[in-house]
């Protein structure tokens, strides 16, 4: 069975395909539409978008035009990082449903604990307030699961202390080399599932010589090693590509990295991401 058909089960019993197709940086319009349509054509059934990516309309159009029944596609979107109050979060959620052209999303998460333009700001109260809007969407069955993204233990503890529904998911930047153990341990303790964005370190991890050597040894590509590593960590990787051949390659990860090689990959340290080409 293709790995694209395999699912993880969230704490509330909702099944989520193990590999998601990321759409960050894929431009709205034909780029995002074609990428999502091509991913769906090649078997992806989990699409990750966000209000902040500006491409929800194209994602929604692609899902519709694919002809795949809505209930067979797992769609995630995210509340913009600067929205930190209940009323605005409710309005923004309704807009997401309109833009995606759907009556529900499978997962809706707070994009970040602080606005991107003011990273590190204390938004404890605002996060509790915004998360209440997510709880309303969940209780109204307009979101099958809810959660957070880029949250560290302190931010999640705040939600646990002041809200009712334990987040089902925390989506974090996670790839070979980055140490996310504190957040992952905390999430595991609370049954909060980890999704891994930028599994290829936005592409830069593929330049790593040790990963390249391991890819050669397994007869796989570096991207496949990076994605398989995360699957063996029990998390959901969200690779993205605008090239069909790479979408296919990134989903052919039904091989096993031996435990000693996993241990070796764990010793790689450092975040290779560069931000020069990111707008
Ligand atoms: P492209 O869209 O031109 O294929 P991440 O998922 O970690 O954010 O990485 C995304 C980046 O990695 C994109 O720039 C994408 O480029 C590139 N990429 C995705 N899959 C592959 C692959 N299999 N081989 C090489 N580069 C890839």
98-154, pLDDT tens digit by residue?
A: 999 999 999 999 999 999 999 999 999 999 999 999 999 999 999 999 999 999 999
Distance set, CA 166 to CA 76, 126, 214 (Å)? 17, 17, 38
When pLDDT is averaged across residues 46-54 and rounded to a whole number, the result is: 97
Whole-number mean pLDDT of the chain?
A: 97
Q: Whose CA is nearest to atom 21 of ligand 1?
A: 246
Which pLDDT score, from 0 to 100, does residue 275 have?
76
Its domain, for residue 31, covers 2-274
Asked if residue 32 belongs to a domain, the reply is yes
Q: Whose CA is nearest to atom 23 of ligand 1?
A: 246
CB 167 within 8 A of CB 148: yes
CB 79 within 8 A of CB 108: yes
Asked if residue 279 belongs to a domain, the reply is no
Residues forming the active site: 53
Q: Which residues lie across from 109 on neighbouring strands?
A: 78, 147
Which pLDDT score, from 0 to 100, does residue 225 have?
98
Q: How far is the CA of 41 from the centre of ligand 1 (A)?
A: 18
Q: Whose CA is nearest to atom 1 of ligand 1?
A: 241
Q: In whole angstroms, what is the distance from residue 234 CA to residue 117 CA?
A: 32
For 233, left (φ over 0), alpha (ψ -120 to 50), or beta?
Answer: alpha
Q: In whole angstroms, what is the distance from residue 131 CA to residue 118 CA?
A: 19
Q: Whose CA is nearest to atom 16 of ligand 1?
A: 241
CB 44 within 8 A of CB 11: no
- % the chain with pLDDT above 90: 96
Give the nearest ligand 1 atom to 226 CA: 7
Structure-token pair, residue 1: 């069975």
Helix (H) or strand (E) holding 164: none
Asked if residue 97 belongs to a domain, the reply is yes
Task: Say which CATH number the domain at 207 has.
Answer: 3.20.20.100
More confident residue, 212 or 270: 212
Q: In whole angstroms, what is the distance from residue 263 CA to residue 134 CA?
A: 38
Q: In whole angstroms, what is the distance from residue 198 CA to residue 240 CA?
A: 8
Q: How far is the CA of 205 from the centre of ligand 1 (A)?
A: 10
* Ligand 1 neighbour 201 (Cβ under 6 A): yes
**Total tally of structural domains belonging to the chain:** 1
170-185, pLDDT tens digit by residue?
A: 999 999 999 999 999 9
Q: Whose CA is nearest to atom 2 of ligand 1?
A: 241
Helix (H) or strand (E) holding 209: helix 209-218
Give the nearest ligand 1 atom to 24 CA: 8
Q: In whole angstroms, what is the distance from residue 205 CA to residue 24 CA?
A: 17
* Ligand 1 neighbour 176 (Cβ under 6 A): no
When pLDDT is averaged across residues 253-269 and rounded to a whole number, the result is: 97
- Residue 276 DSSP label: T
Q: How far is the CA of 239 from the centre of ligand 1 (A)?
A: 7
Best probe residue, ligand 1, of 26, 200, 224, 253 (max atoms within 8 Å of C-beta): 200
Asked if residue 215 belongs to a domain, the reply is yes
Q: In whole angstroms, what is the distance from residue 67 CA to residue 37 CA?
A: 10
Give the nearest ligand 1 atom to 199 CA: 7
Best probe residue, ligand 1, of 239, 252, 272 (max atoms within 8 Å of C-beta): 239
């Amino acid at each position: 069975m293709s790995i694209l058909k395999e699912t993880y089960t969230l704490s509330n019993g909702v099944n989520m395909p193990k590999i998601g197709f990321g759409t960050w940086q894929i431009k709205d319009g034909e780029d995002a539409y074609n990428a999502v349509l091509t991913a769906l054509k090649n078997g992806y059934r989990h699409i990750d978008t966000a209000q902040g990516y500006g491409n929800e309309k194209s994602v929604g159009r692609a899902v519709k035009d694919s002809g795949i029944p809505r209930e067979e596609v797992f769609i995630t979107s995210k509340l913009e990082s600067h929205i930190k109050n209940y009323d605005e979060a409710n309005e923004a959620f309704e807009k997401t449903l309109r833009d995606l052209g759907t009556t529900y999303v499978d997962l809706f998460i707070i994009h970040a604990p602080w606005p991107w333009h003011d990273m590190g700001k204390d938004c404890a109260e605002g996060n509790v307030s915004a998360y209440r809007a997510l709880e309303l969407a969940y209780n109204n069955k307009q979101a099958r699961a809810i959660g957070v993204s880029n949250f560290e233990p302190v931010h999640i503890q705040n939600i646990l202390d002041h809200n009712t529904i334990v987040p089902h998911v925390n989506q974090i930047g996670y790839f070979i080399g980055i140490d996310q153990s504190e957040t992952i341990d905390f999430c595991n303790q609370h049954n909060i599932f980890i999704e891994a964005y930028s599994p290829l370190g936005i592409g830069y991890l593929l330049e790593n010589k040790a990963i390249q050597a391991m890819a050669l040894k397994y007869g796989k590509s570096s991207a496949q090693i990076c994605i398989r590593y995360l699957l063996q960590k029990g998390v959901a990787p969200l690779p993205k590509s605008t090239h069909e051949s790479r979408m296919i390659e990134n989903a052919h990860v039904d091989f096993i990295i031996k435990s000693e090689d996993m241990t070796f990959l764990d010793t790689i340290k450092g975040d290779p991401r560069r931000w020069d080409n990111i707008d």
